[in-house]
Structure 1
Amino acid sequence: MVFILGVNFPERNLVAKSLQGFFGVGGLTSARLLSRFHIHPTCKVGELANKQVLDLTAALSDMKIENDLRRQVLDDIKRLKETGTYRGRRHALGLPARGQRTRTQIKTAVKQNRIERRL
């Protein structure tokens, strides 16, 4: 088992997929981190050298991920609600905030605005 930012990752997992397990790190960000530290995209977590693990941990600790990013998203939604913007009102009502159709397919549209309830 390899620890990256205090999270256990099995040695058989790909490094790129393991990095995407962090909230706020997607495919592009993980690819950039891999290229920055000269790690092959098909490399597994168990094949990483100790220095590479430390470098990845240091880079991830400098980024805004996990709880910091979740808090920022919630603060942004709260700010929109307080200022009374259209998007803020849609968030408060639990309706889609980005122009999705609501006349039909309301169930699908409402699911996309539930970021507040998931976090």
Structure 2
Amino acid sequence: MVFIFGAHFHDASLVKRSLETFYGIGPMVSQRIMARFHIFPLAKVGSLKNAQVMDLTEELTNMKIENDLRREVQENIRRLKDMGSYRGRRHAMGLPVRGQRTRTQISTARKLNKIERGGAGHVRL
């Protein structure tokens, strides 16, 4: 087991997948990080040297990921709601924010708005 930025990873797991488990790191960011430290795209976590693990941990501490990023997103949504903007009202009502169709296909957007963004459901402003 390898310990990277507060999380344990199995030796057989891919480095790319392990990096993508952190909130705020997607495929392109993980690919850039691996290229920066000369890590092969199909490398396993167990094959990393201690220096590479330390470099990855240091890089992740400099990035805004996990709780810091979640807090920033929540603050941005709260700011939109306080301003009373269109996007803020859509967040408050639990409706799609980015112009998606609401006549028929709204259940998934409602579900996502309630769970991830802490929407209040059917609140009218």
- TM-score interval w.r.t. the shorter chain? over 0.9
Q: Which residue of 1 aligns with 2:91?
A: 91
TM-score (norm 1): 0.95
Q: Which residue of 1 aligns with 2:118?
A: 117
- Structure 2: how far apart are the matches of 1:15 and 1:83? 42
Gaps of 5+ in 2: 120-125
Q: Which residue of 1 aligns with 2:108?
A: 108
Q: Which residue of 2 aligns with 1:16?
A: 16
The percent of aligned pairs where both chains have the same amino acid is 58
Deviations along 1:20-64, whole A, 9 cap, x unmatched?
Answer: 000000000000000000000000000000000000000000000
- Structure 1: how far apart are the matches of 2:106 and 2:29? 33
Q: What are the equivalent positions in structure 2 for 1:1-119 lying under 5 Å apart?
A: 1-114=1-114, 115-117=116-118
Partner SS state of residue 113, structure 1: helix
Gaps of 5+ in 1: none
Partner SS state of residue 68, structure 1: helix
Q: CA RMSD in A?
A: 1.3
Aligned length: 118
